[in-house]
Homo-oligomer: A and B are copies of this chain.
Amino acid sequence: MKIAILGYGVVGSGAYEVLTKYGYDVKWVLDIRSHPELGNVLTANYDDILNDKEVGVVAEAIGGLEPAHTFVVKALKAGKHVVSSNKHLICTYYEELHTLALENNVTIRFTSSVGGGIPWLYNLKRSIRCDEVTKIMGIMNGTTNFILDAMITDSRDFDDVLKEAQALGYAEANPSADIDGLDTARKTAISSSIAFNTIIKEENVSVFPMRTVQKCDIEYIVGRLGKTIRYLGFGVKNENSVSAFVEPAILSYKSPESNVVKNFNMITLFGQSVGRLSFFGQGAGKYPTGNALAQDIIDIVNGDTALCFTPHPTPVDNDALKRSYYIRTTASVDGELIENKETINGNNHIITKPISVNSIHKLAKIILESDSGSFFAGFEE
């Protein structure tokens, strides 16, 4: 079975190098840019790939929705297996792509779309074959972890660390997708969809950004509460529904997440029989992510084409789960909700009684109208 890679950017070229070094047969690379080193392997015409009966697996590493979506749909309809590193595509078209894959008796894999080099989604898919996953959670974004880790370890300011992350290439010039949570929300939606065999869209995931975190929050959480903080995506199975949310999370110093330093990721499942199972590694980068894309391809080349399931929609309900929250704001907060409150330099540092995820996210909108710099974090441990 021969391989085609769509897109010769960071991830596509990483996968190409990994695969060819180990003797896997990449027959085509699709890219509209010039890459003389690829010789006859390069094409700008997708029909070369689609009409090539030797190509059994098409790996999409273009990113974005179009033309990636059109290309992937055509590949599935042509009976070719599909691998993708594109979280935006997978999150948006999860149901359509799975339905098409099953109809055409092929598989679709997208391990590299969440967690970079970490074989998280692949192992999550294996787990649900013979276990009930009750919860997933994880540090799925290296940029926000780099920022929080530096703020905690070196007592630095948010803006200062963000600039360093941009200089190091961890954060984009416009860092919104990272620090406002869209990147983690998509990864949470995809992970939860697999874990609970359902379809969770990015708009179903309640998101607290981490961009409002300040030095005074770190000082309070670390110094006063004796805890630490990470930016996590969560999917939780309730009795008849699923909760999905992205939040700064306050954790014990003994939690495995608290020792995830720099831009590393750690993603965890809780299974009824296997217990806690966590995966730690590089969540981004040419070779880690290229490696994960290559692994999905090699599985398929080796004949491992199972692990493609028909999703059965379960309602998303963020009212079903209650936890305590930390709020730092200059706004006033309803006293009935407050478990503890301390005012320091004009900021109210509030710890709430248990409140549903849905309620706190609604309340946050009101609080943010009075103080747009307010910061919210859930207590995880």
A interface, CB within 8 angstroms of B: 14, 18-19, 21-22, 24, 117-119, 123, 126-127, 129-131, 254-256, 258-261, 264, 268, 271-282, 285, 287-288, 290-292, 294-295, 298-299, 302-307
List 9 contacting pairs A-B, 8 Å CB cutoff, sorted by A.
Answer: A14-B273, A129-B295, A131-B291, A256-B260, A271-B291, A273-B290, A275-B285, A277-B282, A278-B279
Would you call B306 and A130 a contact (CB within 8 A)? no
Best-buried of A130, A255, A272, A279 by chain B (most CB within 10 Å): A130
Task: Say how far A111's CB is from chain B's closest CB, in angstroms.
Answer: 10
Would you call B117 and A274 a contact (CB within 8 A)? yes
Chain B residue, CB-CB nearest to A129: B298
With a cutoff of 8 Å between Cβ atoms, the chain B residues found around residue A295 in the complex are 126-127, 129-130
With a cutoff of 8 Å between Cβ atoms, the chain B residues found around residue A131 in the complex are 18, 291
With a cutoff of 8 Å between Cβ atoms, the chain B residues found around residue A118 in the complex are 277
With a cutoff of 8 Å between Cβ atoms, the chain B residues found around residue A288 in the complex are 273-275
Copy count, this protein chain: 2
Known: A261-B254, A273-B288, A291-B131. A280 touches B278 (CB 8 A): yes
Expressed in whole angstroms, the Cα–Cα distance for A22 and B131 within the complex equals 8
Query: B256, B277, B280, B304: which contacts A117 (Cβ < 8 A)?
Result: B277
Chain B residue, CB-CB nearest to A269: B281
What are the 5 closest A-B residue pairs judged by CB atoms, nearest first?
A278-B280, A304-B304, A273-B287, A277-B281, A302-B306
Expressed in whole angstroms, the Cα–Cα distance for A19 and B260 within the complex equals 34
Known: A256-B260, A278-B280. A130 touches B24 (CB 8 A): yes
With a cutoff of 8 Å between Cβ atoms, the chain B residues found around residue A14 in the complex are 273
Expressed in whole angstroms, the Cα–Cα distance for A288 and B259 within the complex equals 24
Task: Say how far A96's CB is from chain B's closest CB, in angstroms.
Answer: 25
Task: Say how far A333's CB is from chain B's closest CB, in angstroms.
Answer: 33
With a cutoff of 8 Å between Cβ atoms, the chain B residues found around residue A291 in the complex are 130-131, 271, 273-274
Task: Say how far A124's CB is from chain B's closest CB, in angstroms.
Answer: 11
Expressed in whole angstroms, the Cα–Cα distance for A298 and B127 within the complex equals 11
Would you call A275 and B117 a contact (CB within 8 A)? yes
Known: A291-B131, A304-B302. A277 touches B274 (CB 8 A): no
Chain B residue, CB-CB nearest to A279: B279
Expressed in whole angstroms, the Cα–Cα distance for A41 and B114 within the complex equals 42
Expressed in whole angstroms, the Cα–Cα distance for A305 and B306 within the complex equals 12
Chain B residue, CB-CB nearest to A256: B259
With a cutoff of 8 Å between Cβ atoms, the chain B residues found around residue A127 in the complex are 295
Task: Say how far A326's CB is from chain B's closest CB, in angstroms.
Answer: 22
Expressed in whole angstroms, the Cα–Cα distance for A119 and B279 within the complex equals 10
Known: A22-B130, A275-B117. A258 touches B256 (CB 8 A): no
